[in-house]
Amino acid sequence: MTEQHSHQFGSQQFERGTDGPKVIVAGVDGSDSSLRAAAYAGGLARRQHALLAVVYVQPVLAAGAALGAPVTETTDEIAEDLVAQIREAAERVKGIFDVRWEFHTFRGDPYNGLVKAADELKADAVVVGASEQAGHRIIGSVAIRLVKAGRWPVTVVP
């Protein structure tokens, strides 16, 4: 029996689905479900020896809303507060950060921000929390839109 494929040693190019995920993106927005998603993604990353990329999408406010308010400072404060929350939540989940992890912020609406993050970080899997907003059950949540994009395995954590 002959080997049909060659391995490129030293190269980090793996076929998707053959070696398990190498980069797991967890979308967080400070909600309880997103923090549970980050904890779940951390466990996956640890077991798969993958990089956990925690992503917060900073909302872009309309120009009118920005008048009189230093928006960048405000959203940066939110991001810093989220980092603190995530670290705190992570410490409650024993050993979660026995994994390599990074924190990234992207600007935009949650769906497009996560798509951009997953593309730029070359995500193999995306983990998000279930929407806690009632309206999303009708309109379709970020999670459902990510699944429909069909570009990565998506795990939705309640």
CA terminus-to-terminus distance, the chain: 46
Q: What is the pLDDT along the chain (158 residues), one digit of tens a residue?
A: 444 443 333 344 445 555 667 999 999 887 888 888 988 998 899 888 899 998 888 776 655 555 555 555 556 777 777 777 766 765 665 555 577 888 888 888 889 999 999 999 999 999 998 876 655 554 558 888 999 999 999 999 98
Nearest to 118 by CA among 82, 75, 153: 153
pLDDT score recorded for residue 95: 55
Are residues 9 and 59 in contact, defined by beta-carbon separation less than 8 angstroms?
Answer: no
d(CA 131, CA 24): 19
pTM metric for this prediction: 0.69
Distance between CA 77 and CA 57 in Å, rounded? Answer: 13
Residue 4: predicted pLDDT: 43
Q: What pLDDT does residue 127 have?
A: 95
Q: Given this model, what pLDDT does residue 14 score?
A: 44
pLDDT of residue 63: 55
